[in-house]
Amino acid sequence: MLVSEAEFISRENIKHFEKRLETEADSAVRSVVFKLLAEEKAKLFLLATAKSA
């Protein structure tokens, strides 16, 4: 998979998780979504720094 493809997927996942947090009321589910969002943001950061190196 190309870096740009992985970046696109990460950005789309981030959008999805942020949108999900707008409507999710269950605290257990919100906790999992927050964790997934943080992991995806970290992944995107690593992809961006790897691309610029």
What's the length of the chain? Answer: 53
The answer to whether residue 2 scores a pLDDT higher than 90 is: no
- Convert the pLDDT of each residue in 25-48 to its tens digit: 999 999 999 999 999 999 999 999
How would you write 1-53 as a 3-class SS string? CCHHHHHHHHHHHHHHHHHHHHHCCCHHHHHHHHHHHHHHHHHHHHHHHHHHC
Total-model pTM: 0.89
Give how far the C-alpha of residue 9 lies from the chain's centroid of Cα atoms, to the nearest Å: 8
Domain residues of the chain, as ranges? 3-52
Question: In the numeric block, which tokens belong to residue 24?
Answer: 């999710």
